[in-house]
Chains A and B, each alone.
Chain A
């Protein structure tokens, strides 16, 4: 199982010292999708939520204030860029750093709202994101110890050992915690119950893209087939 089997044609590499980003057809598509979506979010405005109040003729409007809008847009752009970076990185430690950046920015995007339930679930998500850094970095460290390298180009050529497979399992638990896939979805699902849809959608998109990329990384490391 090598890079071209999973990602298609290798279109090029971007060397930054030891950290070599690589672009295959598959990675390029996800990278471009993340970037296009980030641009769309940077240009768009948030929606307003209007609820009819029970028993009166009044409406209750939930709006995103200007300050809140600015910080959430900024954090969304960072989140989009981090997602795009995680798609093309060819270094394991670099990947974990991108995933951690996405995690902390996701908390930031909802921390600006003023709804108690949303903030409570964001707090719970923050606890998971903190816990998840242990398996995330621990998995990368185990793979570094077992292979002596962090570059995916080199790891692909090394036959997998039990410790590498254990490291990739830890890595997956870390990514699952940071991105909030099942069975840890409840905190993230509750975080969406607020106004400001484009910013909330980037949380969702970053989780989806990161989990796809994480599966590719894990297949490259553990080589099950």
Chain B
């Protein structure tokens, strides 16, 4: 195939997702031969798998201890000097979360408790800016979807008439 023809075929928007996914798939397959390295001194450390489950903890595997505004939760921060009150709100639970955690042992692993859900383990305080950005991505997506739905831009035929 000629190179010019190849470039021309890349100018079709419909083909681009396919090209992108093929390149991504090739790189991901190449990733299997990359030697793995794991740094054991992780900043955002989690307890050993199943350790909290075996303790019959309803918040497993997300329990970090502490009580809000009184006792800080346990985690390692990259720059402790920039967040003096770190861990103070990490263990905050809404009344719904407290209610659910008292009824079931599997609160931490249910869909209800997924990040952004009731348990909100992303409220690390030291990474609070990420929480703001994550929710603003969601907000922008809903702004776009709402605008499109309210203005019926999908009704293309009627607009043309």
Residues of A within 8 A of B (CB): 15-20, 67-68, 71, 74-75, 78, 91, 93-94, 97-98, 100-101, 104-105, 107-108, 111-114, 116, 119-121, 124-125, 127-128, 131-132, 134-135, 144-151, 154, 161-164, 166, 169-170, 173, 177, 183-184, 186-187, 189-190
Contact = CB atoms under 8 A, between A and B. Distances in A.
B129 A16 contact: yes
B42 A148 contact: yes
Contacts of B148: 111-112
A166 B30 CA distance: 9
A98 B133 CA distance: 7
Interface residues of B, number: 55
B46 interface: no
Contact of B79 (A17, A98, A104): A17
7 contacts: A16-B82, A19-B129, A75-B140, A131-B20, A149-B78, A166-B30, A169-B27
Given A17-B82, A161-B37, A184 B137 contact: no
A26 to B, nearest CB: 22
Contacts of B43: 18, 148-150
Contacts of B127: 17-19, 93
Given A162-B37, A166-B34, A183 B134 contact: no
Contacts of A113: 153
Given A20-B82, A134-B24, 10 more contacts: A17-B129, A18-B83, A68-B151, A75-B140, A78-B140, A111-B147, A114-B153, A148-B39, A161-B37, A186-B10
A40 B47 CA distance: 50
Given A15-B82, A71-B143, A135 B136 contact: no
Contacts of B44: 144
A197 to B, nearest CB: 20
Contacts, number: 159
A97 B79 contact: no
B112 interface: no
Nearest to B160: A114
A75 B141 CA distance: 11
Contact of A17 (B28, B83, B156): B83
B125 interface: yes
Nearest to B15: A186
B82 A18 contact: yes
Given A17-B82, A19-B127, A163 B27 contact: no
